[in-house]
Amino acid sequence: MEKLNSTIHSALSTVLVKKLTKNCINTIADFLQEDVEKISKITKLDVVCILDIRDIIFKKYSAPSIAGTTLRTKYLTEKRYLETGIKRLDTILNGGIPIGFLTEVCGLAGSGKSQLCMQLAINSAKPSNSVIYIDTKGDFSAVRIQKILEAHGLSHKEMAIIMLNINIVQIFSMNDLISLLESIKTKKIVFDCLSLVILDSLPCLMFQHFGDNNKIGLKFLNMFVNLARCISNEFRTCFICVNIETRWVDQEQVPDLDDEDDNFGEPAYFEIKNRCLGKYWRHIPVQVLSLQRAFESETKNCININVIAENYNNPCSKLQCPISINYSGVF
């Protein structure tokens, strides 16, 4: 919360601010929560003047009031989903990726996360929309984008327009990521018709901050989440974060039911799946797309992926669909 200062009101001089600070009234919140008569005794200002200062603070820092009918009209008329351009994926997402929220794409290494993100960038940039692709691994392939566009028979002019609409930004630290998002939020960097922001991938930046007693990582993650949510909501855009899924096999000794001496039988093995970035991140994305390769049905020229969609608002409902990746992209 912002500290009290003399610029808030002409009657609130520097001397009075120091007096309030000595009485443990340091911030604007402290000033609003304190008894008016007590503030009057400390500052020697009359009650009317103090109430006037409070009104100015409320007007400056309070959220603007919105009528219920305005909110309803906004809800009914605003675009709520961004179509992915992949019909089967749009079907399980009830129309597309939710606008104004964070969506996560996760999976094991080699499960097609970056390939899907590149395809989403292409499909979102086609209607002359801007896309920001934040590359944290240094492996974004403009050649791959070009090959996909060529496979769809686009002219050189159409290909150039789409590729210009995909803005590639290479980021290799959380500090740089926060600076970029703050510049977008404050409109120091402006993208016309911004429809999609892709961060590929977030764990690459966070791994250096992981640790039992490392609070810096949680601080960065919290700042990122707040900025990403603000940008998504204010610019009515989708924000996709690529995450890594880890799996390992554990074993457990199971008692032998046929053994009277309660001896243990053969150990039972079970698989544990986990999304990276910890417990704090677990409920941040509204939509999670989990990618799993279907090795048994793959061919030489085509990779098959099973996509499982889980919505935070309805975690019990998990829909899935197959998608394929080949030289012409994701379909």
Token pair in block for residue 76: 């009914």
Pinpoint the alpha helices (H) of the chain.
Answer: 14-22, 28-33, 36-43, 47-61, 68-77, 87-92, 113-125, 142-151, 156-165, 174-185, 203-206, 215-234, 278-282
Q: Which one, of 247, 250, 245, lies nearest residue 308 by Cα?
A: 245
* Secondary structure letter of residue 313 according to DSSP: T
Residues 309 and 117: their CA atoms lie apart, in Å, by 15
When pLDDT is averaged across residues 16-44 and rounded to a whole number, the result is: 90
Task: Decide if pLDDT at 119 tops 90.
Answer: yes
Q: Which two tokens stand for residue 292?
A: 């799993």
The mean pLDDT of 69-76, rounded to a whole number, is 81
* pLDDT at res. 163: 93
Q: What percent of the chain has pLDDT over 90?
A: 55
pLDDT at position 232 is: 95
196 pLDDT higher than 90? yes
Average pLDDT of 13-29? 89
Of 56-70, 226-240, 312-326, minimum mean pLDDT range: 56-70
Phi-psi region of 281 (alpha: psi -120 to 50; beta: other; left: phi over 0): alpha
**Rounded-to-10 torsion of CA 90, 96, 101, 102:** 40
Instruction: Answer for the pair 165, 142: CB distance below 8 angstroms, yes or no.
Output: no
Q: What is the tally of helices (H) and strands (E) in the chain?
A: 13, 12
Mean pLDDT of 191-205: 94
Query: Is 297 in a helix, a strand, or coil?
Result: helix
d(CA 123, CA 83): 8
- Going by their DSSP bridges, the two strands 194-200 and 130-135 should be labelled as parallel
pTM for this entry: 0.77
Q: Does an H or E element contain 269, and which? A: strand 268-275
DSSP state, residue 3: B
Q: How far is the CA of 130 from the CAs of 149, 162, 164, in angstroms?
A: 17, 9, 9
Token reading at 279: 């417990």
Phi, psi of 40, rounded to the nearest 5 degrees: -65, -40
Distance from CA of residue 308 to its chain's centroid? Answer: 19
Judged by DSSP in three states, 131 sits in strand
Q: Give tens-digit pLDDT for 142-158.
A: 999 999 999 999 999 99
CA angle, 83 then 84 then 89, to 5°: 105
More confident residue, 244 or 273: 244
> Residues 250, 272: contact at Cβ < 8 Å?
yes
Q: Assess whether pLDDT exceeds 90 at residue 304.
A: yes
Give the pLDDT of residue 266.
Answer: 66
**Where residue 278 falls among pLDDT bands split at 50, 70, 90?**
confident
* Alpha carbon separation from 238 to 48, 202, 234 (Å, rounded): 47, 16, 11
* Confidence bin at 60 (pLDDT 50/70/90): confident
β-bridge pairing 130-135 and 166-170: parallel
Give CA separation, 249 vs 117, 246, 252, 255, in Å: 29, 11, 10, 20
Q: What is the pLDDT of residues 209-265, one digit of tens each?
A: 776 566 778 889 999 999 999 999 999 999 999 999 987 777 665 555 555 555 555
What is the pLDDT, as a whole number, of residue 77?
A: 81
Domains within the chain, CATH numbers bracketed: 14-61 (no CATH), 74-250+269-330 (3.40.50.300)
268-282: average pLDDT: 81
For the ranges 27-31, 74-78, 157-161, the lowest mean pLDDT is seen at 74-78
